[in-house]
Amino acid sequence: MLKLRMQRTILIAVIELAVLALGIIAFAQQPNSVAPAAPAQTAPGQRYVLKASDVLGLTFRYTPDYNHDTSIQPDGFVQLKGLSSAVHIQGLTLQDAHREIVKAYSAILKDPDITVTLKDFEKPYFVVSGSVRNPGKFDYRGHTTVMQAVAMAGGFDDAAKHSQILLMRKYSSDLVQVTMVDLRQVMKGKELSQDLEVRPGDTIFAPKSAFAKFEPFIPSSSVGMYQHY
């Protein structure tokens, strides 16, 4: 009798926690939970914007002694050869950065003719985490869907909740859009529109099913009775 009561108590707790989790995820999906803003990542059709750790190569046509490479520091500034003051270029396109650099060198050179090239930059990537076999950071090489991203991470593990995959897209340092993606039907070849496109900088999170979370606390004799994905 005591064992049966324990099983019922655990089952009730599992159901309550599962309902709570669904409520939290549903709230994250509400339109007002995230206010749209200008994307931090470069969207298709837009020019690349410079980021910290990017490396620029500067070539001076008439004054080659000034030729050098320079890296964008974490604070967004670059130190330029021959100039005492650093120039802030993080967040600018290469064309806008070129304009700022020419302006800075105009203080010591007459009509500077400078070629600015992007020599090294952070490669576009996305992250897959949670209940997948090989979570990690993956290079973005073109059109990729959530299902393809999961496949690149080795596929789902046995504990994944296929119907509640979270696609998180960062718009600023404190603003993230969260979209729930149901891949159950996609995995059956149905409702393929659910398989959203991934963009550089996105994070895909595969949560565990409610049963997988609480399985260690459920008596093995009752597993067959209560298992539900």
Structural contact between residues 180 and 29, judged by C-beta atoms closer than 8 angstroms: yes
Comparison of pLDDT for 223 and 45, the residue scoring more: 45
- pTM over 0.75, yes/no: no
C-alpha radius of gyration, the chain, whole number: 25
Q: How does pLDDT run across 33-56, given as a tens digit for each residue?
A: 333 333 445 555 568 899 999 999
pLDDT attached to residue 26: 41
Q: How does pLDDT run across 125-178, given as a tens digit for each residue?
A: 999 999 999 999 999 988 999 999 999 999 999 889 888 999 999 887 788 899
Q: What pLDDT band is residue 223 in, cutting at 50, 70 and 90? A: very low
Q: Please give the Cα distance from 22 to 119 (Å, whole number).
A: 47
Is CATH 1.10.1740.10 correct for 2-41+124-226?
no
Q: Give ranges for CATH 3.30.1950.10 in the chain.
A: 55-120
Tell me the mean pLDDT in the region 90-98: 96
55-120 has which CATH code? Answer: 3.30.1950.10
Min mean pLDDT across 6-10, 78-82, 159-163 is at 6-10
Q: Give ranges for CATH 3.10.560.10 in the chain.
A: 2-41+124-226
